[in-house]
Chain A
Amino acid sequence: MLDRKIAPKITDIEEIKFIYPQKMELSDLVPMYWMKEVPNATSRIDFYFDAGTVRGKSVLASLTAGLIFSGTKEKDSTTLHNLLDDSGAYFDVGLTQESALVSFYALNDQMLNIFRIFEDAFENGVFPQKEIDELVNDRKQKFLVNYEKVSFLAQREFQKQIFNGTPYSRLIELSDYDDVSRTEIIDFFNQFYKNGLMKVVVVGDLPQTTVDYIAGQSRKWCVQARPEFQSDFSNNIKTIKLEKKDAIQSAIRVGKTLFNKEHDDYLAFTILNTILGEFFGSRLMKNIREDKGYTYGIGSYLSEINKSGYFLIGTEVGSDVRDKALDEIKKEIELLQNELIIEDELELVKNYLLGQALKSADGPYAMMDLFLAVESHGMNLDFYNKFIHKIQTIKPQELLDLARKHLNWDSMTIITAG
Chain B
Amino acid sequence: MIQFERFELDNGLKVIFHKDVSTPMAVVNVLYDVGARDESEEQTGFAHLFEHLMFGGSVNIPEFDSALQMAGGESNAFTSNDITNYYDVFPANNLDTALWLESDRMFSLAFTDKSLEVQRQVVIEEFKQRYLNQPYGDVWLLLRPLAYKKHPYKWATIGKEISHIENAKMEDIRSFFQRFYCPSNAIVCVAGNFELDYVKEKISYWFASIPSVKKPFRILPVEPIQSEFRELTVERKVPADAFYYAFKMSERKSEGYYVTDILSDAIGREKSSQLYITLKKEKQLVSEISAYITGSLDEGLLIISGKLNDGVSFERLDEALWDCLETIKNVELSELELDRLKIKIRTAKEFQEQGLLNRAMNLCFFELLGDANGVNEEQQIYQSISTKILHEFANEVLRKENCSLLKIKAEKNA
- A: residues with CB less than 8 A from B are 2, 4-5, 7-11, 13, 16, 39-42, 77-78, 81-82, 85-90, 105-107, 110, 134, 137-138, 141, 144-145, 147-150, 246-249, 279-281, 289-296, 316-318, 347-349, 351-352, 354-356, 358-359, 362-363, 365
Contacts and interface: CB of A to CB of B under 8 A. Distances in A.
Contacts of A279: 69, 74
B25 A141 contact: no
A137 to B, nearest CB: 6
A41 B60 CA distance: 45
A77 B271 contact: yes
Given A7-B97, A149-B135, A352-B74, A296 B125 contact: yes
Interface string B60-102: 1100011101111111100000000000011101101100100
Interface in B331-347: 336, 339-340, 343-344, 346-347
B97 A359 contact: no
Contacts of B93: 11, 13
Interface string B16-39: 000000111100000000000000
A356 B72 CA distance: 7
Q: 7 smallest A-B Cβ distances: which pairs?
A: A355-B72, A293-B121, A144-B239, A88-B343, A8-B96, A11-B93, A81-B271
Nearest to B341: A85
B100 A138 contact: no
A105 B351 contact: yes
Contacts of A149: 133-135
A317 B125 contact: yes
Contacts of B388: none
Interface in B92-134: 93-94, 96-97, 100, 103-104, 107, 117-126, 128-130, 132-134
A251 to B, nearest CB: 9
Nearest to B132: A248
Contact of B287 (A8, A141, A292): A141
Contacts of B73: 352, 355
A141 to B, nearest CB: 5
B139 interface: no
A294 B123 CA distance: 10
Interface string B303-320: 000010110000000000
Contacts of B132: 248
Interface of B: 22-25, 59-61, 65-67, 69-76, 89-91, 93-94, 96-97, 100, 103-104, 107, 117-126, 128-130, 132-136, 205-206, 209, 237-240, 270-272, 277, 280-281, 284, 287-288, 307, 309-310, 336, 339-340, 343-344, 346-348, 350-351, 353-354
Given A7-B67, A86-B343, A88-B347, A291 B118 contact: yes
Contacts of A295: 122, 125
Contact of A5 (B60, B135, B288, B309): B60
A41 B240 contact: no
A107 B347 contact: yes
A151 to B, nearest CB: 9
A84 to B, nearest CB: 8
Given A149-B134, A317-B125, A138 B287 contact: yes
Contacts of B346: 88, 107
Contacts of A249: 125, 128-129, 133
A348 B97 contact: no
Given A4-B60, A86-B343, A148-B135, A365 B240 contact: no
Contact of B239 (A42, A106, A147): A147
Contacts of A358: 24-25, 72, 91
A352 B133 contact: no
Contacts of B23: 362-363
A281 B121 contact: no
Contact of A351 (B24, B70, B310, B336): B70
Nearest to B280: A134
Contacts of B118: 289-293
- Greatest chain A CB density within 10 A among B60, B100, B354 is at B354
A293 B119 contact: yes
Contact of B347 (A106, A280, A318, A348): A106
27 contacts: A2-B205, A4-B100, A7-B100, A10-B72, A10-B94, A11-B93, A13-B91, A40-B350, A41-B350, A78-B281, A81-B272, A90-B344, A134-B281, A141-B287, A145-B240, A148-B134, A148-B135, A248-B128, A293-B121, A295-B122, A296-B126, A316-B129, A348-B66, A351-B71, A352-B70, A355-B71, A358-B91
A147 B339 CA distance: 40
A355 B97 contact: no
Nearest to A15: B24
Given A88-B346, A138-B287, A247-B133, A13 B72 contact: yes
A273 to B, nearest CB: 15
A2 B96 CA distance: 12
A277 to B, nearest CB: 14
A4 B205 contact: no
B133 A355 contact: no
A134 B310 CA distance: 12
Contact of A85 (B74, B76, B129, B272): B272
Given A88-B347, A107-B343, 11 more contacts: A8-B94, A8-B96, A40-B350, A85-B272, A88-B344, A137-B287, A247-B133, A279-B74, A281-B65, A290-B122, A316-B129
A351 B118 CA distance: 27
A77 B271 CA distance: 9
Contacts of A10: 70-72, 94, 97
A78 B270 CA distance: 10
Contacts of B71: 10, 351, 355
A4 B309 CA distance: 61
A179 B194 CA distance: 60
A82 B72 CA distance: 45
A141 B240 contact: yes
B89 A359 contact: yes
A145 B135 contact: yes
B376 to A, nearest CB: 14
Contact of B107 (A4, A16, A352): A4
Contacts of B340: 82, 85-86, 88
B70 A348 contact: yes
Contacts of A11: 91, 93-94
A10 to B, nearest CB: 5
Contacts of B60: 4-5
A248 B94 contact: no
B91 A42 contact: no
Contacts of B277: 78
A81 B270 CA distance: 8
A75 B104 CA distance: 61
A355 B92 CA distance: 10
A42 B352 CA distance: 10
- Greatest chain A CB density within 10 A among B66, B71, B75, B307 is at B71
A409 B126 CA distance: 28
Nearest to A105: B351
A104 B94 CA distance: 36
Contacts of A352: 69-70, 72-74
A369 to B, nearest CB: 13
B209 A2 contact: yes
A322 to B, nearest CB: 12
A141 B24 CA distance: 46
A4 B104 contact: yes
Contacts of A89: 347
A281 B66 contact: yes
